[in-house]
Amino acid sequence: MDANSTSAILFPGQGVGDASSRQLVAELRPDLLDLAARLVGEDPFERMSEGTAYAQPAVYCASIAGYERLGRPSADYFAGHSLGEVGALAAAGAIDDADGLQIVVARGRVMEEAAREGAPGGMLAVGSDHDRAEELAAEHELTLANENSPQQFVLSGPLARIEEAEAAAKGSGVRAKKLAVAGAFHTEAMSPGVEAFRAELDEIDFQAPRAPVVSSTTAEFFDEDARDALAASLISPIRWTAVLGRLSELGVRRYVDVGPGKVLAGLVRRTLDGAETETVTSRESALA
């Protein structure tokens, strides 16, 4: 891999990693692990499969630890998928790591509360082209909430409609899988949490990042004050394919997925021909 290539560092969202990710955090960022336990009320890794209020702080801590494992490298651009936007802003110096964790704890909490307050909701991953994903969303009155790659989309909305869409997709030969989340994330169902989250963001100091950070909902650079964009992301679809397209247009050829896991590296390979990818695991294998 050419270390001199124009590069982007990527931070994943919820749904990656598991409790084993805790080990890296304990080794490299025990301060974040302690702070997470204080802010959440207990170790989030022990309950990360039980809800977004635990999963989001755990994933954030694991991502920052992964970035630490890589040596906190500089890059030409940073980007994060949904929750990962906060990690990307921290790595780029727009906020400090502890403030990023405070943001993520608040984010997970308000999203879980909004999911509890409303009708049961869910999300459905669909392996199809964009037209078929749009058809399924329209047919079942769902939101096309995530555009992860040209072949992977996520629908979001009321749980009953999610289940109907899953059956319809499988019945027509389309791969579909209900995600292990308890809410219709990235839809208007999260609106009850936006104001409370924005108030939490007002307590955080933001500054200009060292390198541009690309929003996963607009595929544009965050402003120096990212508060409004972060709050709006709760109810806005994720346009990850557009993010990768924007980075490619900017000349990025090398994409570093800090983890946990290597989901974003896989999405890069499925979206961009000829792109170079790197993960924590691949870096350590190369150095072994």
| Residues taking part in catalysis | 82, 186
DSSP per position, 68-127: HHTT----SEEEESTTHHHHHHHHTTSS-HHHHHHHHHHHHHHHHHHHHHSS-EEEEEEE
**Contact, 221 vs 271, CB < 8 A?**
no
DSSP, collapsed to helix, strand or coil, labels residue 16 as coil
State the Cα–Cα distance between residues 152 and 175, nearest whole angstrom. 10
Q: Which residues of 22-48 are buried (b: 16+ CB within 10 A; e: fewer)?
A: bebbeebbeebbebbeebbeebbbeeb
DSSP, collapsed to helix, strand or coil, labels residue 7 as strand
